[in-house]
């Protein structure tokens, strides 16, 4: 489970969790689903990205997290600035 830390509390990041669940499926539809979950906004996707990067810092050989991060990165690119 991925968590984000806010004001000393840890809560799961639902977009990062969904990105992990979508690994191995069709990338285009996965990216669309992540963008929809984020409501078309960057901030939730940035939070998911940060959660996945944190997971990779703890375990650099986590290939599912790497693939999920790629999906989130594509979703960020789709949303734009």
pLDDT in tens, 38-66: 999 999 999 999 999 999 999 999 999 99
CB-based contact 26:32 (threshold 8 Å): no
Q: Which of 9, 24, 70 is nearest to 45 (CA)?
A: 70
Of the chain, the end-to-end C-alpha distance in Å amounts to: 28
pLDDT tens-digit map of 23-40: 999 999 999 999 999 999
Q: Where are the alpha helices (DSSP H) in the chain?
A: 14-22, 27-37, 42-58, 63-79
Prediction pTM value:
0.85
């Amino acid at each position: 489970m991925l968590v984000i830390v806010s004001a000393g509390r840890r809560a799961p990041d639902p977009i990062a969790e969904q990105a992990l669940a979508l690994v191995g499926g069709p990338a285009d539809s996965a990216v669309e689903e992540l963008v929809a979950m984020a409501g078309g906004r960057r901030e939730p996707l940035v939070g998911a990205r940060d959660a996945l990067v944190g997971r990779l810092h703890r375990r650099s050989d986590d290939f599912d997290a790497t693939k999920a991060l790629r999906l989130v990165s594509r979703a960020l690119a789709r949303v734009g600035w």
